[in-house]
């Protein structure tokens, strides 16, 4: 049973299984299933998938301003004249922009750090797009920087580090509020969340 399970398959099939196996969340069984699904797929569809993968790799770059993934540089948000250019919202990952855009409540610009400070994993500030953010602040008319890193240990560490760095440069530095999630139960909230929710309480509307 020491033999690798894919060696029984034809070489091109084994190769595809190996490639799928490298993807996040795809185990050996899922990799085999995906491969055999592709084998039965019409050639045109398989080609479309292959082309889509190539196109992503060839045409997508990072926006020179906000570091978001984009096919045009500067990206559509940075180039738009409908966005408020005095605000920059700093996020960890490009996916966070999608989430914020879905909410439809933010009209400013973004900046993607591509990660968060994680000292124990050896990820320091130099691994993130912080230098790029600083140079934007020096050259653009930014009045407020919103730190929208995740409300976990790494995100908080990153926010604190950025606060130290950005404060002396002039703009107002704010942090996303944290508190009770919509649809959550008070009794299950941890004390940090609860105390923050109390600190950030607002006059009731009604």
Partner 1 sequence: MGTPRIYKTEAIVLRQRKMGEADRVLTLHTLTHGKLDAKAKGVRKTTSRMAGHLQPLNRCMVQLVQGRTMEIIAGCETLESFQPLREDLDRLSRALYAAELADRFLAERVEAVATYRLLQETLRHLQGDADVDLVLRRYEMKLLEHAGFRPELDRCLGCEVPMGPQRNFFSPMAGGTLCPSCGAGTAGSRMLSADGLKVLRLLQRASYKEIERLNIPPALAQEVERHQRSYIACVLERDVNAAAFVERLRREQQPLQI
Chain positions contacting partner 1, by CB under 8 A: 25, 117, 119-122, 124-125, 152-153, 156-157, 160-161, 164, 181, 183-185, 188-193, 195
For helices 130-139 and 153-166, angle between their N-to-C axes, nearest 10 degrees = 40
Is the Cβ of residue 7 or residue 105 nearer to partner 1 in the bound state? Answer: 105
Phi, psi of 172 (to 5 degrees): -70, 130
Comparing CB distances to partner 1, the nearer of 97 and 109 is 97
Residue among 48 and 99 whose Cβ is closer to partner 1? 99
Rounded to the nearest whole angstrom, what is the least distance from the CB of residue 122 to partner 1 in the complex?
4
* Nearest-angstrom CA–CA distance, 100 and 102: 5
CB 169 within 8 A of CB 137: yes
- The nearest distance, CB 133 to partner 1, in angstroms, is 16
End-to-end CA distance of the chain: 68
Rounded (10°) angle between helices 11-21 and 28-40:
130
Nearest residue (CB) to partner 1, 86 versus 193: 193
Q: Which is nearer to partner 1, 9 or 197 (CB)?
A: 197
CB of 65 to partner 1, least distance (A): 25
Which residue in this structure is represented by tokens 């009045």? Answer: 143
- Smallest distance, Å, CB 153 to partner 1? 5
CB of 173 to partner 1, least distance (A): 14
How far apart, in whole angstroms, are the C-alpha atoms of residue 8 and residue 85? 58
Contact 179, 197 (CB under 8 A): yes
């Amino acid at each position: 049973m020491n033999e690798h399970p894919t060696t029984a398959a034809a070489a091109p099939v084994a190769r595809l299984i190996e490639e799928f196996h490298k993807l996040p969340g795809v185990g050996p069984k899922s990799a085999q299933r995906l491969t055999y699904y592709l084998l039965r797929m019409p050639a045109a569809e398989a080609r479309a998938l292959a082309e889509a993968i190539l196109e992503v790799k060839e045409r997508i770059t990072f926006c020179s301003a906000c570091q978001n993934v984009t096919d045009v540089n500067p990206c559509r948000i940075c180039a738009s004249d409908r966005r408020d250019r005095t605000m920059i919202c700093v996020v960890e990952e490009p996916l966070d922009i999608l989430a914020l855009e879905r909410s439809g409540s933010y009209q400013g610009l973004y900046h993607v750090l591509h990660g968060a400070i994680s000292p124990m994993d050896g990820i320091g500030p130099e691994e993130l797009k912080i230098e790029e953010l600083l140079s934007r602040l020096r050259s653009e008319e930014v009045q407020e920087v919103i730190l929208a890193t995740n409300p976990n240990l790494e995100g908080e560490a990153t926010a604190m580090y950025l606060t130290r760095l950005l404060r002396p440069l002039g703009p107002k530095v704010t942090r996303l509020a944290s508190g009770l999630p919509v649809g959550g139960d008070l009794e299950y909230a941890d004390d940090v969340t609860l105390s923050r929710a109390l600190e950030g309480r607002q006059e009731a509307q009604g």
